[in-house]
Amino acid sequence: MTTRQVRRAFKYRFYPTDAQAAELSRTFGCVRKVYNMALQARTEAWTLRQERVGYNATSAMLTAWKKTEELAYLAEVSSVPLQQTLRHLQGAFTNFFQRRAGYPTFKSRKKSRRSAEYTSSAFRFRDGRLTLAKMTEPLAIVWSRALPEGSDPSTVTVSQDSAGRWFVSLLCIDRLAPMPVTDTAVGIDVGLTFLLTLSRPIAGLTDDQGRIRSPKHEQKDRARLTKAQRDLSRKAEGSNNRAKARIKVARAHARIADRRRDFLHKVTTALVRENQTLVIEDLAVQNMLKNHKLARAIAGASWSELRSMLEYKADWYGRELVVVDRWFPSSKLCSACGTLRSTMPLNVREWTCGCGATHDRDVNAALNILAAGLAVTACGDGVGPQRNTPGGQSSMKQETSRPQRPRVAAQPRG
C-alpha cells in the first residue's frame, strides 16, 4: 500500500520559564511592529506614488529600521520571525491581488494573535528537546503525541492564546498510508438538535436512526461564561482586576472551543474510517448566521469546521468526498418515490408522501444526499437522483432550472 507524504503541523502545549516568556513576549511585539510598519510603508507607497513595494524592499527597510536609535530594540530578538512576518504580509497582498481576501489590516496589540514563526536556522531540535534562537534552555513541552518517526520539524510556530496558554506547532513531513478500501458510502445531513444525520446507522457512533446528537458545548457552559462576562463588565477599565476577569472569560471560551474541536475530530475520523465515499451538502453558513434566532446555535455547531476536517482527512486517507450543491432539494424530495414537494417549513420534522412513505425530515435528507452523490459518481457532474413530478412522470436528467449553477459538485475536497 503506497504511502503519501503530507506537510502536517503537530501542536503541543508548553510551559515557559519567566525568562523565556519575557523573550517570546518581546518577539511577539516586534513581529507585530514590523508587520504594521511594512504594511504602512506599502500602503503609502501605492497611495502617494502608485508604487508597488514587494518583500525584498520591505526586508531592506527592516535592516534600516534596526540601525535607527528609535527601533534598535528590533535587533535584540531573533531576526527570523521578523523576516517571516514580512513573508506573511507578502502572502496577504498576493491573496488580495488575486481576490481571495480583503486588503491586509494592521495587527492590534490586544486583539491580534500573538505568534512568531521560526525556520530551521532559528531553532535546534535534538532528542525531543526544542531550543529557540536567543534562548539557552529548551522549552518544557508536554509531548501529548509522538512526532512522525524520522521526521524533523522544518518550521516552528510559537503562540499564546487569549487565555494565556502557550503552544508550539511543529511542521513536519508525515507519511500516511491510505485506509483499506471499502464499498460503503454515507450521506451526511447536518442539523442543530442532531449535529449529523447519516443515511445509515454506524455502530458505536450513531443511534438506531443514524443520528448523532449535538453536544451543545456552548449551551452547557453558558452559565459559567455568563458569570465570567458579567464579572468582567463590572471591573474598571485598565485595572488589574479587569485583566484577571478577562482571562477568566477567555478560559471559558477556550474550554468550549477545545471540547467542540475534540468532538468534531472524533466524529470525522470515525466517518472517514468507516466509509469509502462521503457525501455532504454545501451550505452557505455565513448567510445562515444572519438569522438572529438561530445564529448562536449555528455558530456552536461549527458546520464549516466539520466540513474542513472531512475534506483534509478524506484527502489524507484516500477517501472520496462529494459535495452536493446547496440548491439540491434534499428535504423536500421523497427518497422512496422521488416526488418533490413544493414547500417544507423548518417546523415540519416528519411528513408523509403521497406514496404512503412516512419520512423523518433529516433521515430523508441524508438518503437523498447519498443518492445525489452516487449519481454524480456514476454519471458525472450535474446529474441528480431520480425524481417524480407532481403529475407522476419520473426523470433522471441534468437540472436546468439554474443553468448558471451546477446542481452537484463532485470533486474531492482538500
Q: Do the Cβ atoms of 322 and 281 come closer than 8 Å?
A: no
Distance CA 366, CA 390 (A): 22
Q: Closest Cα to residue 314, out of 276, 287, 370?
A: 276
- Which of left, alpha, beta for 234 (phi over 0: left; psi -120 to 50: alpha)? alpha
Q: Which residue has the cell 443511534?
A: 207
Q: Is 311 a catalytic residue?
A: no
Burial of 376 from C-beta contacts in 10 A (0-12 / 13-18 / 19+): buried
C-beta neighbour count of 12 within 10 angstroms? 17
Q: Is 174 a catalytic residue?
A: no
Q: Closest Cα to residue 280, out of 214, 189, 191, 364?
A: 189
C-beta neighbour count of 190 within 10 angstroms? 23
Compute and round to an integer the Cα radius of gyration of the chain. 26
Q: Do the Cβ atoms of 282 and 323 come closer than 8 Å?
A: yes
Q: Is 218 a catalytic residue?
A: no
Distance CA 109, CA 377 (A): 49
Catalytic residue among 189, 218, 320, 325: 189
Catalytic residue among 23, 281, 311, 315: 281
Catalytic annotation, residues: 189, 281, 362
